[in-house]
Structure 1
Amino acid sequence: MNVDYTAQKQALPKQERSVRTNKWRTFYLKFRKNKLAMVGGCVILFYIFVAVFAPLLAPHDPYQIELANKLKPPSAEHWMGTDDKGRDVLSRLIFGTRLSLSVGFVAVFIGAFFGIILGLFAGYYGKWLDTIIMRIIDVLLAFPGILLALAIVSALGPNLINVMIAIGVFSIPMFARIVRGSTLSVKKLEYIDAIRSLGASGLRIIFVHIFPNILSPIIVQITLRLATAILSAAGLSFLGLGAQPPLPEWGAMLSNGRDFLFSVPFLALFPGLAISTLVIGFNVFGDGLRDALDPRMKH
């Protein structure tokens, strides 16, 4: 017998809604006590602020070439000096924040979207569908992530769009495995059996009742994968397979700076510091999320 959504919602045990509310309240109280994670969150917010207001913050045009001012050391006019084409390093770093964050967020969105869908369906329906999906995931996991990304970018061509696709593809298995395991646990709970007995469809159970209750590990994984995605994108650009000139991407700037590492070290120093601080910020923030969302952690 089929029951409309209103009836299902009225029949939904209050326990499900109260558990969600208490979980997020407890998470906030725990996370607030983790000072290192709070610092990581501030670092992320700072870079997001820089990315959003890049045109207002950059003192110079990041693409303007002035050969007469090439390889100038840091000064009052150029706080981080100029590169081998006379472009302002600070302005390029500021605009590069947009590229690095964009690549990270888009790549992780691709990986999370497909990984979550595959994991939910594999965990809920099981049987032959679970077998097929997980064997595909096992094949992807057989390749080291950066090696798989290199192969995809080499096949598609070197540019940022293909870098996003490549990093997204090698992020899919991590999300699929985590979501599948969480789905297997949640679908055994009593309230899922109650909802199923009311005639709710499988898709409604998956997306309305299971998915909201497995968000915790997904959020943690997204945060940690952002750090990996940004670092991987910088690595591919460093190798010449990512951002192409004259885009001010941090990995490409670092690659350009290595040619002047001993004569003008700041060209490689500043992009390297930007990559490191942002990646560390995401990592400590993700660790804080994991600790706050894990009920086994004592605070």
Structure 2
Amino acid sequence: MSAGTDRLVAVDIGGTHARFVIATIGNDGTITLDEPVTLKTEDHASFQTAWEDFGRIQAGDLPKAVSIAVAGPVGGDVIRFTNNPWIIRPALVKEKLKVDAYTIVNDFGAVGHAVARAPETDFLHLTGPDEPLAAEGTISIMGPGTGLGVAHVWRDGAGSYRVQATEGGHIDFAPHDMIEDAILARLRRRHNRVSVERIVSGPAIVDIYATLARMENRATMEEDDRTIWQSGMDGSDSLAAAAVDRFCLALGSVAGDIALAQGGFGGVVIAGGLGYRIRDTLAQSGFAERFRAKGRFEKLMSSIPVKIITHPQPGLFGAAAAFAKEHLS
């Protein structure tokens, strides 16, 4: 990467959508994003054809640098996506995309970079002391969506940081009460091992809802997760509202467990569109109580600030930040 180059294409690729944006990195390190473009992965045979489509939309030459956040493991000769059929061969990125420099980062690793670089105004306080995330130490990050993304950021107190993406969403689920025992029992009929993302993710609301219905001997229609979330959030279905409350409790428990496991005592950040959409419900739910309920460590948990990141495009912002850290630091 030649000195002085400050424009790149940032890309955030998930199972359903690929988001593209032109990012500019200022001399002071400030990252600004143009208006993002969202393309459906199912409409494109490959990442390269989606890239070419974005180029046509821009109606001009694209920057000669790219940072790609991918929903799946990063590394090796071939990168495969978790929920779409695209592949990326890193050795061919420069040739295929006609760029001079590139970065490839896990999608939740990109969120970690966003948390590390975003201004304090991009965070909404949820629980714990109402103070900024620590400038030194570890910050835990988790994001319920289609699955459960988990990462952490370590800051040195002097402005430098490191991001570690993890597979923390696949740790074992630990029920907290009899209702969660029943949810676990339902899931165990389909899965020998039940991970936390089976309970703390967007689609998980279906099993939570069905468990509560069975406990009350209710006959319920087979509802999809979007319908349950909507009727639970708007209050039109009291059972769906109870399922949303139960989700918030479980999210609090898992967030506290992740903080303990990672040493995330400098702060915890809830990321992702789902966390943002239910922010008001989270604030009024039992999330905070469950987050703190760690026995002998309750006092420690009470000292941790918990935030929701409100940046509209943390994946794209974080992809640009990851590029800057790799090539411009």
**Larger % of helix: which?**
1
Calculate the TM-score normalised by the size of structure 1: 0.27
**Larger % of strand: which?**
2
Calculate the TM-score normalised by the size of structure 2: 0.25
Higher RCO, 1 vs 2 (CA within 8 Å, ≥6 residues apart) = 1
